[in-house]
Chains A and B, each alone.
Chain A
Amino acid sequence: MTMFEYAPAPESRDVVDIKPSYGLFIDGKFVDGKGEAFKTVNPATEETLAEVAAATSEDVDAAVAAARRAYEKVWGPMPGSERAKYLFRIARIIQERGRELAVLESLDNGKPIKESRDVDIPLVAAHFFYYAGWADKLGHAGFGADPKALGVAGQVIPWNFPLLMLAWKIAPALACGNTVVLKPAETTPLTALLFAEICQQAELPAGVVNIVTGAGATGATLVEHPDVNKVAFTGSTEVGRRIARAVAGTRKKLTLELGGKAANIVFDDAAIDQAVEGTVNGIFFNQGHVCCAGSRLLLQESIAEEFLARLRRRMGTLRVGDPLDKNTDVGAINSAEQLERIRALSQIGEAEGAERYTAPCVLPERGFWFAPTVFTGVSQSHRIAREEIFGPVLSVLTFRTPDEAVAKANNTPYGLSAGVWTEKGSRILWLADRLRAGVVWANTFNKFDPTSPFGGYKESGYGREGGRQGLEAYLDV
């Protein structure tokens, strides 16, 4: 061996016990679904991991009814200090079973184990710890002396951060005294079902958390259910619109966290090595399956060439492959359908005249894979600069002045996040004031924290999750 070739270092999948089939979690028990069961696959190998029940409208009725009973009889009347104990207990069990959850998340989602282990699961636990702390302090959250819960929350979450999105939804809902019916994405239901087991282990009262699995129809039934008081959705803008239509004219409270096409703006005085890292992290983290991904790199034209050379060199060290290998940086695309979408938009990028660069890497033969890709010479008018690709594909645009950077960054129907890279503090503040984005990261990217509110402008949705502000979505205020 003359090169430093890292031998495979796979995390053991024996730490998690996957059952051949899973039912729905309703009223504290696993029950059979009445719909036709569907398979969930490992996107890295295309092997079937388990069969999962599909919830029909009858099943959703049962789940909402269980949640209603639990809200009225147990969870609603329970003092906040008691609710907090359950949430703290859940948070601790998540930490204790962290490795199991991380392996299962990587198997079902395709994300590298180093991300599920070091990012997803620690953030999940942190979210429960954080909102557990609020449960008995709601009177100090700025929503009046004794703010009330809403009732039953119907929550629909995406496949990119399955357990983390569950935590973002369930932790504040429960802390505020609501009960929930949650539908995980059809391609990634397994960690939500393991979470249901954790609820049992924590002896959470029956009906406080209900998990109904299924595809879009199940989600539609849930959000349209007349006995749901609150709807929370994270996912595509297209589905978000449909949900907003369905909820319009009802008394349901709605929060939506939708798509994005974030600008990551790099100035000529940026700390260049860290800006390259931030760009890589911004778009290739979680295979680019991130609503707030920095998918548009706005480079000051004077440094564009040098920066891109450094970026390409760095992309050459990205390790794409087995998600369970501890040395993998970029894992599998979550589904054949998503892979098709990424391929189609990339082809459009080429057809529109942008120059394509793909990191040199060998992709596994089975499974869904897409090599990290950068398009240069992209214009504002190109579709790859406007549409969310939701994959490891970066579009690079250039700007000449700070004003132009702001104009280009804001020239999108989305407004979820943005990044600014400069060593000049005053410029960071100047930009943060002008960028129409819910989150502006300065000299970093894709940083998440339960204490910090997250949410969008414009077509990226409304409402905030996380922080004190995140309580509002689950309180009658």
Chain B
Amino acid sequence: MTELSTLLAGLPGVDQVGAEQRAASLATRSIKTSAKAWAIDLSIRMVDLTTLEGADTPGKVRTLCAKAIRPEPSDPTCPSTAAICVYPSMVPVAAAALKGSGVHLASVATAFPSGQAPLQVKLDDTRAAVEAGADEIDMVISRGAFLAGDYQHVFDEIVAIKEACGKAHLKVILETGELGTYDNVRKASWLAMRAGADFIKTSTGKVAPAATLPVTMIMLEAVRDFRELTGRQVGVKPAGGIKTTKDAMKYLVVVNEVAGPDWLDPDWFRFGASSLLNDLLMQRQKLATGHYSGPDYVTVD
């Protein structure tokens, strides 16, 4: 028994039924007209536009960067996304493409997505991405160690990676789909925050289920309580499976009513997504023109 495991065991439990009921009830909020327009633009500004495929090429990454900078080429009032999120090998390409745009460059690292590599490999992975120009690192925790109860191991890894990040912001991916319970999500959130995470992130997008509304709500409760206790604000990033504007609205309602308006900002809340952006753009066009366009009126990437 370590001090850390005692501390995590002392966190209040999460009642699964009650938590899911609360999330479902928040999902019934009806966001219309002016509120919807505001929330769509905010959502675009919160997107970490992501491509994490074995088939990623410099060409693919460059077009995605162009899209992140100007998602709606014909409308200068449309904001840029928060960031691009790519594999470390694509960071140099993205860094060149994003230069001067204000769009952040996030790279996954630490043997993403499984995290099953020696610490030294993870550290090298991280340093390489930062040196190549990434200003945000999305790391994965060792779920195996977490589930085995070796919290200290997970904690020490995060501390080491945080150090390797230097000035880059660290997002810690909990991979909640592999943690199994909301109690574990809360424990992992607190563990990551105490170890120095700037953001806690739900998923890699490679494991089902990825982000869900209740999981994100539990994490938002954690960052809210953590700030109250320590004064330090930590961001939250749900990733994977958020595809529609309607989904995004539900997440923003949960942010607003659970963590509070302080988190309604790209510095504190992000969507890890790819197809979500085009749906946001189509809904944006619909609000502006009064009719739906179609997939050919937004760019494929």
Q: Which of B17, B21, B32, B256 contacts A7 (CB 8 A)?
A: B32
Q: Given A273-B12, A273-B221, does the pair A9, B18 have CB atoms closer than 8 Å?
A: no
A7 to B34, CA, bound (A): 6
Within 8 A of B (CB), among A269-318: 269-274, 277-278, 317
Q: Most A CB atoms within 10 A — which of B12, B28, B252?
A: B12
Q: Which residues of B contact A114 (CB under 8 A)?
A: 28
Q: Which residues of B contact A317 (CB under 8 A)?
A: 257
Contact A7 B36 (CB under 8 A): yes
Contact A270 B12 (CB under 8 A): yes
A371 to B252, CA, bound (A): 26
Q: Which of B30, B256, B261 contacts A326 (CB 8 A)?
A: B30
Q: Which residues of B contact A272 (CB under 8 A)?
A: 12
Write the B89-126 contact mask toward A (1 if CB under 8 angstroms, else 0).
00000000000000000000000000000000000000
Q: Which residues of A contact B261 (CB under 8 A)?
A: 3-4
Contact B17 A443 (CB under 8 A): yes
Contact B30 A273 (CB under 8 A): no
A270 to B12, CA, bound (A): 7
Total contacting residues, chain A, CB less than 8 A? 24
Q: Most B CB atoms within 10 A — which of A4, A114, A118, A278?
A: A4
Report the nearest A residue to B224, measured CB to CB.
A313
Write the B5-30 contact mask toward A (1 if CB under 8 angstroms, else 0).
00000001111011101100000111
Report the nearest A residue to B218, measured CB to CB.
A273
Report the nearest B residue to A273, measured CB to CB.
B221
Q: Which residues of A contact B34 (CB under 8 A)?
A: 1, 5, 7
A118 to B33, CA, bound (A): 23
Q: Which residues of A contact B19 (CB under 8 A)?
A: 271, 273-274
Contact B38 A443 (CB under 8 A): no
Contact B15 A443 (CB under 8 A): yes
Q: Which residues of A contact B253 (CB under 8 A)?
A: 4
Report the nearest B residue to A443, measured CB to CB.
B15
Within 8 A of B (CB), among A1-60: 1, 3-9
Task: Decide yes or no whether B35 CB sits under 8 A from chain A.
Answer: yes
Q: Which residues of B contact A6 (CB under 8 A)?
A: 29-32, 35
Contact A326 B28 (CB under 8 A): yes
Q: Determine how close the nearest CB of chain B comes to the CB of A238; give it in whole angstroms.
A: 35
Contact A443 B18 (CB under 8 A): yes
Q: Which residues of B contact A469 (CB under 8 A)?
A: none
Within 8 A of A (CB), among B169-209: none
Report the nearest A residue to B31, measured CB to CB.
A6
Q: Which residues of B contact A5 (CB under 8 A)?
A: 34-35
Task: Decide yes or no whether B44 CB sits under 8 A from chain A.
Answer: no
Total contacting residues, chain B, CB less than 8 A? 27
Q: Given A4-B38, A4-B264, A327-B29, does the pair A273, B256 have CB atoms closer than 8 Å?
A: no
A123 to B19, CA, bound (A): 22
Within 8 A of B (CB), among A395-443: 423, 443
Q: Which residues of B contact A327 (CB under 8 A)?
A: 29-30
Q: Which residues of B contact A326 (CB under 8 A)?
A: 28-30
What's the dominant secondary structure at chain A's contact region? Answer: loop
Task: Decide yes or no whether A444 CB sits under 8 A from chain B.
Answer: yes
Q: Which residues of A contact B29 (CB under 8 A)?
A: 6, 326-327
A88 to B15, CA, bound (A): 36
Task: Decide yes or no whether B39 CB sits under 8 A from chain A.
Answer: yes
Q: Determine how close the nearest CB of chain A comes to the CB of B292; give it in whole angstroms.
A: 20
Q: Determine how close the nearest CB of chain B comes to the CB of A422; give it in whole angstroms.
A: 10
A444 to B29, CA, bound (A): 22
Q: Which residues of A contact B15 (CB under 8 A)?
A: 271, 274, 423, 443
A331 to B35, CA, bound (A): 22
Q: Which residues of A contact B38 (CB under 8 A)?
A: 1, 4
Q: Which residues of A contact B12 (CB under 8 A)?
A: 269-273
Within 8 A of B (CB), among A186-206: none
Q: Which residues of A contact B32 (CB under 8 A)?
A: 6-9
Q: Which residues of B contact A8 (CB under 8 A)?
A: 32
A5 to B33, CA, bound (A): 11
Q: Given A274-B19, A277-B22, A423-B13, does the pair A7, B28 have CB atoms closer than 8 Å?
A: no
Contact A271 B35 (CB under 8 A): no
A273 to B31, CA, bound (A): 25
Contact B18 A277 (CB under 8 A): yes
A388 to B223, CA, bound (A): 39
A7 to B253, CA, bound (A): 13
Q: Determine how close the nearest CB of chain A comes to the CB of B43; give it in whole angstroms.
A: 11
Write the A323-347 contact mask toward B (1 if CB under 8 angstroms, else 0).
0001100000000000000000000
Q: Which of B28, B221, B257, B264 contacts A118 (CB 8 A)?
A: B28
A147 to B38, CA, bound (A): 63
A269 to B221, CA, bound (A): 17
Q: Given A1-B38, A4-B252, A317-B257, does the pair A273, B14 have CB atoms closer than 8 Å?
A: yes
A126 to B238, CA, bound (A): 36
A9 to B36, CA, bound (A): 11
Q: Given A4-B256, A6-B35, does the pair A274, B30 have CB atoms closer than 8 Å?
A: no
Q: Which residues of B contact A277 (CB under 8 A)?
A: 18, 21-22
Q: Which residues of A contact B28 (CB under 8 A)?
A: 114, 118, 326
Q: Determine how close the nearest CB of chain B comes to the CB of A264; give it in whole angstroms.
A: 13
Q: Which of A7, A118, A269, A271 contacts B14 (CB 8 A)?
A: A271
A266 to B15, CA, bound (A): 13
Report the nearest B residue to A268, measured CB to CB.
B12
A326 to B29, CA, bound (A): 7
Report the nearest B residue to A318, measured CB to CB.
B257
Q: Which residues of A contact B30 (CB under 8 A)?
A: 6, 9, 326-327
Q: Determine how close the nearest CB of chain B comes to the CB of A106; give it in whole angstroms.
A: 15
A143 to B14, CA, bound (A): 42
Contact B13 A271 (CB under 8 A): yes
Q: Which residues of A contact B35 (CB under 8 A)?
A: 1, 4-7
Within 8 A of B (CB), among A229-278: 269-274, 277-278
Q: Given A1-B38, A4-B35, A278-B18, does the pair A269, B257 have CB atoms closer than 8 Å?
A: no
Q: Which residues of A contact B14 (CB under 8 A)?
A: 271, 273-274
A118 to B252, CA, bound (A): 22
Q: Which residues of A contact B31 (CB under 8 A)?
A: 6-7, 9
A277 to B19, CA, bound (A): 9
A7 to B36, CA, bound (A): 8
Q: Which residues of B contact A118 (CB under 8 A)?
A: 28
Q: Determine how close the nearest CB of chain B comes to the CB of A427; give it in whole angstroms.
A: 13
A interface residues with partner B (beta carbon < 8 Å) = 1, 3-9, 114, 118, 269-274, 277-278, 317, 326-327, 423, 443-444
Apart from A6-B31, A274-B15, what 5 extra A-B contacts exist at CB < 8 Å? A4-B256, A4-B261, A278-B18, A327-B29, A423-B15
Q: Which 8 A-B pairs have the closest CB atoms?
A: A274-B18, A9-B30, A271-B15, A326-B30, A274-B15, A7-B35, A272-B12, A271-B13
Name 7 interchain pairs, CB-CB below 8 A, sorted by A.
A7-B36, A269-B12, A269-B13, A270-B12, A271-B18, A272-B12, A443-B17
B interface residues with partner A (beta carbon < 8 Å) = 12-15, 17-19, 21-22, 28-36, 38-39, 221, 252-253, 256-257, 261, 264
